[in-house]
Amino acid sequence: MQLESLVKKFKNKDVKAFESLYEMYKQSVTGVVYNIVRDQTIAEEITQDVFIKAWNNANTYSEKKGRFFTWIINIARNAAIDKVRSKNFKNNTKNLDAEFFVDILENHDSLDSKTDAIGIKNFVNKLKETCIKVIELLYFKGFTQKEVSESLDIPLGTVKTRNRNCINELRIMLK
């Protein structure tokens, strides 16, 4: 079934379309969420919540504003960031064992196979090193622009400009 038809049926609350889209995108969504929350169980829960939210708000999706995949990934990213910023999540991560942090330190490549289902890693890796750093922190690790500014020790305005320019470079590559 073509994606446009599938999305149209999804918007009309077709359960089969929902199931098909879930199967198509669950791995990518889970990967993006996992890179932010760093917990597989929580990532899977958020992924399910994301698809339920998409189902309940299907009428808000517009083909004119962007692709369905982009829409659902944005929902996922925002849900993951909300989770990480929640008081409950912060309290639960205060007393984590060292294994959690060792995994984060050993796994420098956050653009892993789970988030690369659409091949974005190849495009991001073609960018300048400064772009790769900014995009990875903002979009794959869930940092705010202020946190990126502090992490890279560059002015906030520079982060915003680099983000805009790097995303434009990605758009050009994808055309």
The DSSP-derived string for 10-22 is HHTT-HHHHHHHH
What does each C-alpha distance from 43 to 119, 153, 155 come to in angstroms? 21, 30, 32
Domains of the chain: 3-87 (1.10.1740.10), 108-174 (1.10.10.10)
In this prediction, residues 44-64 reach a mean pLDDT of 94
Helix pair 68-85, 40-56: axis angle to 10 deg = 130
Q: Is residue 54's pLDDT more than 80?
A: yes
Q: Determine the length of the chain.
A: 175
Q: What is the pTM of this model?
A: 0.58
- Nearest 10 degrees: Cα torsion 28, 32, 134, 145: 140
pLDDT of residue 89: 66
Name residue, tokens 């910023």: 85
In this prediction, residues 69-76 reach a mean pLDDT of 92
